[in-house]
Amino acid sequence: MAAPRSPTRARERERSDAPAAGSDQVHSWTLATSQALDTVWRMAKGFVMLAVSFLVAAVCYFRRLHLYSGHKLKWWIGYLQRKFKRNLSVEAEVDLLSYCAREWKGETPRTKLMRKAYEELFWRHHIKCVRQVKRDNYDALRSVLFQIFSQGISFPSWMKEKDIVKLPEKLLFSQGCNWIQQYSFGPEKYTGSNVFGKLRKCVELLKTQWTEFNGIRDYHKRGSMCNTLFSDAILEYKLYEALKFIMLYQVTEVYEQMKTKKVIPSLFRLLFSRETSSDPLSFMMNHLNSVGDTCGLEQIDMFILGYSLEVKIKVFRLFKFNSRDFEVCYPEEPLRDWPEISLLTENDRHYHIPVF
């Protein structure tokens, strides 16, 4: 028979088991807390990684959007410049020496010659700015007409005495020039019987525009109107074709005078002495019809243009610097009361407008 337990030993065992139970409880709480913190950390880490991934994706997206938007914006700016600014066939004034430095870089003999020529214009002739003119086969006519309109120069004396709108029919019916039907409007070729109606519209437009510009006394208003007119290619080309016809009319008139043994200006004697322009028809077929299409005005054409419009056209030929042909006038001996306009050229093919 087992002896009964001692109450003292039971109490000692209970005391020894109590700390062990407390230690287990603390350990379980520590473990639970550690697990909770670990879970929270993993969640936080996952959230941070997700946020960083989202941020990187957003940065990449907006960077691509920025590049795309910048490209489209650049395209639209270029389009609008071409449509509203670059369409100006006579551009705004720019500093002459800055233009020279931009266009003529390097140390070749031709480059050095051009820089010296531009410096000559700036210091000796007091030309401070230049207006660039669109490079095509009308640019000589464009340069002259722009200055006539912007300066408000009046009609030539002979135009005040005649209705220039009727000149196409006059050549046909009064002087029997039925060959006028072979007149070419720049790139357009033979137009047949319709040529008279087209020429009449061109000449009528020239008369209307010239009258309007001549009636405006405010220089800035004329300049604003020039910017509008010389950004409309269709109207421009009609005006240039009208100028070509005016030149042809003057050649025809002087040729008729020569046939009656009248004294004619020396420049026309030179014109008619050439095999390719011995009469008005050959002048039109071999020279004038090509203007605006495959070539611009030649030097003798510049003489005829100045004579027809009664303006003194002074041209600075920069490639002829340090020679007697650096500065020439068309015609060489204009009447004293003819207004003067100035051009500059680097090659006798394309012209720009100097601004004093």
pLDDT beyond 80 at 133: yes
pLDDT in tens, 134-184: 999 999 999 999 999 999 999 999 998 889 999 988 888 877 788 988 999
pLDDT of residue 52: 77
pLDDT of residue 79: 55
Q: Cα(42)–Cα(63) distance, rounded to whole angstroms?
A: 31
pLDDT of residue 171: 86
pLDDT of residue 38: 75
332-341 mean pLDDT: 82
Model-level pTM?
A: 0.76
pLDDT of residue 66: 78
Helical residues (DSSP H) of the chain, grouped into ranges: 7-80, 96-103, 109-123, 139-151, 157-161, 167-173, 195-214, 219-229, 233-259, 266-273, 280-286, 299-309
244-249 mean pLDDT: 97
Axis crossing angle, helix 266-273 with helix 233-259, rounded to the nearest 10: 90
Lowest mean pLDDT among 2-11, 17-26, 191-200, 326-335: 2-11
pLDDT of residue 65: 80
pLDDT of residue 295: 94
Closest Cα partner for 341 from 148, 127, 117, 207?
Answer: 148
Work out the pLDDT band at 32, boundaries 50, 70, 90. confident
332-339 mean pLDDT: 78
Please report the sign of the dihedral spanned by the C-alpha atoms of residue 135, residue 90, residue 290, residue 265. Answer: negative
Closest Cα partner for 215 from 257, 270, 153, 303?
Answer: 153
- SS3 state of residue 316: strand
pLDDT in tens, 84-94: 554 689 999 99
Work out the pLDDT band at 11, boundaries 50, 70, 90. low
- Please work out, in degrees rounded to the nearest 5, the angle formed at the alpha carbon of residue 217 by the alpha carbons of 215 and 219: 125
pLDDT of residue 1: 45
* Residue with more model confidence, 68 or 222: 222
Lowest mean pLDDT among 18-32, 39-53, 165-179, 240-254: 18-32
In which region does residue 323 sit, left (phi positive, over 0), alpha (psi from -120 to 50) or beta (all else)?
beta
Structure tokens at 311: 């303006």
pLDDT in tens, 289-317: 999 999 999 999 999 999 999 999 999 99
| Residue at token pair 């004396």 | 157
Closest Cα partner for 178 from 162, 192, 197, 164?
Answer: 192
Asked, as a colleague might, if the bond just before 354 is cis with ω within 30 of 0, I would say: no
Supply φ then ψ for residue 187, to 5 degrees: -65, -20
Pairing of strands 129-133, 90-95: antiparallel
pLDDT in tens, 189-244: 766 778 889 999 999 999 999 999 999 999 999 999 999 999 999 999 999 999 99
333-342 mean pLDDT: 83
pLDDT beyond 80 at 262: yes
